[in-house]
Amino acid sequence: MSRPRLSTLAAACATALATALIGPAAGAHATTAGHYTGTLTDGATWIADTPEQWNGTLLLFSHGYGPTTAADAPSPAASQALLNAGYALVGSSYDPNGSMWALDSAERDQFAALTAFRRQVGTPTRVISVGQSMGGLVNAQIARDGAGRVDGALGLCGLVAGGVDLGNYQLDAEYTLATFFDPADADTLVNLDNQADGAALAARLTTAVQTAQLTPAGRARIALAAAYLNLADWAPGQLPPARGDFAAQEQQQYAWLAQGLLGFIIPARWSVEQSAGGNTSWNKGVDYAGLLHKSAHVKQVEALYRDAGLNLRTDLNLLTRGADITADPAAVARLERTSTAGQALAVPLLDLHTTADQLVPVEQESAFAGRVRAAGDSRLLRQAYVARQSHCNFTTAEVVAGLHAVEHRLDTRHWGDSATAAQLQRSADELGLDGAAFTDYRPSRLTGTR
């Protein structure tokens, strides 16, 4: 999503690649027909797959947070469908020697994988960058910095608001839960010693939330924390709650928390701190009343507090008075440098997001769109939404339909109606694959930005 006007980051990447990629292809070899692997100079690996009849388009795939293992497609099903349609695929692992929050190296390694593909396999007529989850942030950076190297981009459930915003709104929610349900941990939410330490903290907070859910007061305070977390109120296996059914909304938010959400996001904080070299989140000076009133869930929280007989103002004042967590300025600066995408755009970008994403809230798209708009590049950005629960929960048809919309923009130099919900749905249905659920949707404002 961004357009570099050849930014210093892009220039640095270009310089690094020019020197570092003297030899990745020398270590590359075809392991099977149409499958290629290799090692880059920082130790990252890359893989590529080519179809029997290549249409000339190469998809440069950026994978999400987790083990630094090379991937070149969002899923095995998507990989097969894309290869069947004639696309070639390539992607890297990112640097395996550091944090799983590999934003220090991801963009550089993706461009390096692209160069290795050109040397080892062939020259594409068109390159489209595709990124998923944390890789959606990498993808947005590539869309910002990739002029002359990529032609367009497709983002899937991308963490496009960036690492600083992510850490802060997650901290707001964790701080709220700890303050009311687990005060012994209120001072241990940041500067984690290791991933196991984060997992133990997450287990304690989850147990406390499960106990709190048994009382009206606990449910009201869980809803407050969920509002700060931008947490979706539609959980797996359930129908979406009615707009005014605040109790059902909280029940489904609780389901996300009870089913392991904290067990993912809290240990992941350690990876971010490891990458940045210190704590990157803070709440000192935050007005928690003002923060709540920016949330789309404010009416829900107010209603549940009334039902519980609690004084919301008292709780908000308590949170504001106790907010004293400060960040390491150097770590914040490093995270801002490596882990944001905001944001001019060099190439057209279409972002797809599920409407009930528990890990990367759909509200991140509104924050990102505002930054692209401020850079004057809204003409290059389109965002589309799928009515479904869970993070990155796309069908293969939805992914391919999104890709076709990007191709339409590149072929015609105009989006037209290609990225509208109606046209994306038609495009997906015509594929005869696994269905689609595109919907007209506009996300609310992201809560917790500083």
Q: What is the chain's length? A: 450
If you classify domain 8-162+340-439 with CATH, what class do you get? alpha beta
Check residue 360 and give left, alpha or beta (phi > 0: left; psi -120 to 50: alpha): beta
- Which residues share a beta bridge with 126? 57
CA–CA dist 384, 439 (Å, integer): 8
Closest CA to 402 of 383, 388, 389, 416: 383
Neighbours of 10 (CB within 10 A): 23
> Taking the model in full, what pTM does it have?
0.91
For the chain, what are the domain ranges? 8-162+340-439, 163-334
Per-residue pLDDT in tens (0 to 9) along the chain, 450 residues: 333 333 333 333 333 333 333 233 333 333 344 999 999 999 999 999 999 999 999 999 999 999 999 999 999 999 999 999 999 999 999 999 989 999 999 999 999 999 999 999 999 999 999 999 999 999 999 999 999 999 999 999 999 999 999 999 999 999 999 999 999 999 999 999 999 999 999 999 999 999 999 999 999 999 999 999 999 999 999 999 999 999 999 999 999 999 999 999 999 999 999 999 999 999 999 999 999 999 999 999 999 999 999 999 999 999 999 999 999 999 999 999 999 987 899 999 999 999 999 999 999 999 999 999 999 999 999 999 999 999 999 999 999 999 999 999 999 999 999 999 999 999 999 999 999 999 999 999 999 999
- CA torsion sign, 62 to 67 to 69 to 71? negative
